Amino acid sequence: MLEVSALESRYGRIPALKGIDLAVRAGELVALVGANGAGKTTLLRALSGVQRVSGGRVRYEGADITNAPPERRVRLGIVQVPEGRQVFGPLSVEDNLRLGGYTRRAAESASTLERVYAMFPVLRQRRQAPAGTLSGGQQQMLAISRALMARPRLLLLDEPSMGLAPRLVEEIFACVQGLRAADTAIFLVDQNARAALAIADRGYVLETGRIVLAGSGAELLADASVQAAYLGL
Amino acid sequence: MSPQLLQYLLSGLTVGAIYALVALGFSIIYNASNVINFAQGEFVMIGGMTTVSLIAAGLPLALAALLAIAATTLVGLALEKLAVERVRSESVVTLIIITIGASILLRGLASLVWDKNLHALPAFSGERPIALGGATIVPQSLWVVGVTLVVVAALWWFFNRTLHGKAMLATSHNRLAAQLVGISVRRVLLVSFGLSAALGALAGILIAPITFTAWDVGVMLGLKGFAAAVLGGLGSGPGAVIGGLALGLLEALSAGYVSSAYKDVIAFGIMLAVLVLMPGGLLGRRSVERV
Ligand SMILES: Nc1ncnc2c1ncn2[C@@H]1O[C@H](COP(=O)(O)OP(=O)(O)OP(=O)(O)O)[C@@H](O)[C@H]1O
Ligand SMILES: [Mg+2]
């Protein structure tokens, strides 16, 4: 579904991605782990099109989208949930969701909205509230729901559990697994490497802009270097 | 209320409505791009001058006004496409300087295409003043205030009741998130310039029968519109309207009770005082953090 080859990106002169090769197949849950500053966010931003790339290729369903603008990728089904939620604070919860469906037809958005409310009833309860007044966990649910409104076929998740209480982290991970079960491919970045790899079909390890290790979720969980660096064993 | 005070209020309201339209143009572009478009006043001038020319060429007023608004909108779109969009990655300051350059260029072109004389536009429905509680009001003032009301209501509806309008607001709140939900930020920018140009042109056409128009009327009207936008809170729609009306009333009252020679000084003085006390403007939400 998604094939990335030799992808490079830089901030000014400083390279952040130094030749990334990876793939995500349809319906797969792929985790990306790496230390702070490894380039995980940069990679996701490059995939969603909000980050310039300086080399390499991104192909999606056979088409080259390396330089496609973000709105086209959303229409194609690649949707990113950004790090730090980034809800439209002054707008209502429901407006945030409707904007999530900006690229979809009104009728389709209305039915997705019902599904999203069924998944997160608290969002329905607070649908008139300004998004900025929600708690951190609710904002994360809103950020994910807003992305779901675009009907993603490949969902890019950047640190969905950041700053959340353990109970909420579980809820978010259960939701991610539910989405995969419903056939949405997921590319997941999370500082909770253990939990991410545990639910992943496959994983990649990113170190200073390079993929240094790849394998199934179970293989990476059992890998001594991964255990030492990311699992605190 | 003394007839005299009423008279000042009516004239303040008229000119305030014009400032409000210009201020809305500033705020719409600011919201989309954080750019203060100093060519906003030139949109006002192009609207008025083009209408004058089209009427001279024999077109009826309504058609001339519509074509002038369309032409000015094209100028606004061209400014965005040819200048602002080309340097998207540059800093906001660079973009602001580009709009200053564009305003000088447009003024220069106007003095060539037209001339440096004052031009009058006929009033939309006669010049006979209407008596109102001891004061009088020219019919054109009713046009100015009435059309402004309709436009403000339409803009409110667009930004608060339609998905495309909300998408433009969302872009001003969080550009990254807007891109990630599939809003084309380039399109938002383009629409903002087009809409602001149309609003400017409309203001220029409405006011021309009262104050005349000329190649350089955009300088003062642009400045006043900017002051009104800042007074109300840059980026706030209701703020632009309130700021425009407040500035217009302040001016009219200063001219009436003190001296018309000092009206600008007094109006700007009060505006500065408000800003010292409330740096975000009367209804500002975040101009402080943004500038
Ligand atoms: N806007 C920016 N300007 C300059 N350098 C940046 C910028 N954003 C990130 N970087 C640098 O690029 C590198 C990769 O950053 P990135 O945010 O992609 O890492 P990350 O793996 O997501 O880290 P974290 O776990 O902290 O979220 C880092 O060295 C970072 O300092
Ligand atoms: Mg990150």
Nearest alpha-carbon partner for B228 in B165, B285, B274: B274
Distance CA A133, CA A123 (A): 12
> Which residue in the set A49, A102, A106 is minimally distant from B181, CB to CB?
A102
A209 pocket-lining for ligand 1 (C-beta < 6 Å):
no
Please indicate whether residue B279 or residue B287 has the higher confidence score (pLDDT): B279
Q: Which residues contact A157 (CB under 8 A, 6 or more apart)?
A: A80, A81, A144, A176, A186, A187, A188, A189, A190
> Cα B118 to chain center, whole Å?
20
| Residues of B with Cβ-Cβ distance to A70 under 8 angstroms | 179-180, 182
Percent of chain B with pLDDT over 90: 75
User: Tens digit of pLDDT for each residue in A9-30?
Assistant: 999 999 999 999 999 999 999 9
Nearest alpha-carbon partner for A17 in A46, A60, A49: A46
B32-to-B74, B174, B189, B235 alpha-carbon distances in Å:
18, 10, 6, 9
Distance CA A207, CA A40 (A): 9
pLDDT at A134 over 90: yes
The whole-number pLDDT of residue B289 equals: 36
Place B259 in a pLDDT band, splitting at 50, 70 and 90.
Answer: confident
Percent of chain A with pLDDT over 70: 100
Residue with tokens 């408000």: B274
Distance CA A200, CA A205 (A): 13
> Cα B15 to chain center, whole Å?
11
Percent of chain B with pLDDT over 70: 97
**Crossing angle between the packed helical segments B237-257 and B263-277, to the nearest 10 degrees:** 140
User: Tens digit of pLDDT for each residue in A150-192?
Assistant: 999 999 999 999 989 999 999 999 999 999 999 999 999 998 8
Domains of chain B by start residue, with CATH: 3-270 (1.10.3470)
| Residues of A with Cβ-Cβ distance to B283 under 8 angstroms | none
Q: Cβ of B181 and A75 within 8 Å?
A: no
The whole-number pLDDT of residue B263 equals: 84
Mean pLDDT, rounded, for B68-82: 96
b/e string for A44-82 if b means 16 or more Cβ within 10 A?
bbbbbbbbebeebebebeeeebbebebbebbbbbbbbbb
Mean pLDDT, rounded, for A33-42: 95
Q: Which of A32, A41, A189, A211 to mutate to test the pocket of ligand 1 (most atoms within 8 A of CB)?
A: A41
pLDDT at B288 over 50: no
pLDDT at B285 over 80: no
State the ipTM, two decimals.
Answer: 0.95
* Residue B90: how many other CB atoms lie within 10 Å: 12
